[in-house]
Structure 1
Amino acid sequence: MEGPLEPDPTRMRISDADRHRVAEILRDAAGEGRLDLAELDQRLEATYAARTFADLVPITDDLPAGTAAQRPQRAPDAAAALAPPERHVAIFGSLDRRGAWTVPQRMSVFTMMGGAELDLRGASFAAPEVTITVNCFMGGAQITVPPHVNVVVEGTGIMGGYSGPGTRVPAALDVDSPTVRVRGVAIWGGVSVQRKRPR
């Protein structure tokens, strides 16, 4: 008489930790150029929809699975990697983001006779490089970054201006520092980036 059948391990239910490990492999592969952003989004969506180990196998079978484990300090938070692009509008009003929040890889802000304040000192980043596009018309925006964040300002001022981050607080950058790229157009308005120490 045959004994009970052994359960198929590939049909076992996976945990959130299993999903996060696969997501780390995907993010690391994208950082190395093995996946483009569209492929990364598709595979991350499949990863967090997976229910069993069998569901996870095809997601990473063409990737080197050890990459994320070799450089865990560079793998961003799993929730951050899933942050969707954000679009904000402040007309005769204001936008205020501060504290613990996730800066998506792409974020756009439009102000007209209004203002925006983005404090990144307590934020996490969805990617090693994020782009914040700020377009202002008779309005303004202020972006605050901590010393360890690299800043690239590419904005255009038309009877207005883009400025910062200056040298009042020196940068303290290393190989793991995220980059914040600030771009857009300021017409009769201004966008300033300043570097401050964490509170």
Structure 2
Amino acid sequence: MTDERPEKPLPELRASDADRERVVERLRDAVAEGRLDMEEFEERLEVAYTSKTYAELEPLTRDLPAPGGHPMPLAAAAPAPRPADGSWASRIGGGGVPASSSAAVAVMSSFQRKGTWTVPPRLDAVAFWGSGDLDLREANFAEREVVINCIAIMGGIQITVPPGVEVDVRGFGFMGAFDQRDTPGPVAPGAPRVVVTGLAFWGGVEVKVKPPKRPKPLGGGPKLRKEL
């Protein structure tokens, strides 16, 4: 007798918040690709956020190809571990992680990319009456130079980069703004170049520079003694 196991989760298993969010992200990409109209998107979005099992989530993306044209597996593969040296060379060229979707769309909603993800050569970020958060501090980069094309219409997009990254802001604001308040400082050897372009109409695109988050010490660390 052979030990055959299902390639995807059993339909009756309970779905997690992360499972629901992966489906919602694919639906947003499908709108940007022209595969779904807004009425279909809103109907599926409501079902996604109220789904409790995999059986309820699976039909929402059954007729949608995954980025690259292959059927979309519901359960995403775990990202490959990042090399311990932390050098930029280990983070450019994909870093062992498949390139993320080339579009991020928020229509009266929000999108977020943070943690370990791969910035594609060109990322189209759209916020219409919504907001977007692109955190590049722990990201890998598909190429040495990436372009983030932002369209903010009555919405806002925030891009966070670590110190040492070269940033080139070229966007145009019409009753809106492309704002780079922080200075990345000297460009680190081998660091990627991030070009931010697009249009802000009654909206804004803001570029911030922040150092990567430090991992919390195990055990919570020593407690400070309260002075009387």
Tell me the TM-score normalised to structure 2 length. Answer: 0.51
Offset at residue 149 of structure 1 (A): 1.1
* Superposition map of 1:92-107 within 5 A: 92-107=108-123
* Superposition map of 1:111-122 within 5 A: 111-122=127-138
Indicate the structure whose relative CO is greater, using CA pairs within 8 Å and at least 6 residues apart. Answer: 1
Structure 2 Cα separation of the partners of residues 144 and 129 of structure 1: 16
Structure 2 Cα separation of the partners of residues 94 and 85 of structure 1: 16
Query: Which whole-Å deviations, capped at 9, do the CAs of 1:4-46 have from their partners, x for residues lacking one?
Result: xxxxxxxxxxxxxxxxxxxxxxxxxxxxxxxxxxxxxxxxxxx
Cross-structure match for 2:209: 195
- Which amino acid counterpart does residue 194 of structure 2 have in structure 1? V
Cross-structure match for 1:177: 191
Q: 1:153 aligned to 164, 169, 172, which one? A: 169
Give 5+ residue unaligned stretches, structure 2: 1-87, 214-228
Query: Residue 127 of structure 2 contacts residue 151 of structure 2 at CA under 8 Å; is this kept in 1?
Result: yes
Structure 2 Cα separation of the partners of residues 136 and 77 of structure 1: 27
Query: Residue 154 of structure 1 contacts residue 183 of structure 1 at CA under 8 Å; is this kept in 2?
Result: yes
What is the CA RMSD across the aligned residues, in angstroms? Answer: 2.2
Query: Residue 111 of structure 1 contacts residue 137 of structure 1 at CA under 8 Å; is this kept in 2?
Result: yes
Query: Residue 165 of structure 2 contacts residue 188 of structure 2 at CA under 8 Å; is this kept in 1?
Result: no
Offset at residue 171 of structure 1 (A): 2.0
Q: 2:93 aligned to 76, 86, 89, which one? A: 76
Query: Residue 85 of structure 1 contacts residue 106 of structure 1 at CA under 8 Å; is this kept in 2?
Result: no
Cross-structure match for 1:130: 146
Offset at residue 84 of structure 1 (A): 6.1
Give 5+ residue unaligned stretches, structure 1: 1-71
Offset at residue 89 of structure 1 (A): 1.4
Change (3 A) 1:85 1:93: closer
Higher Cα Rg, which structure: 1
Q: Which has the higher helix share?
A: 1
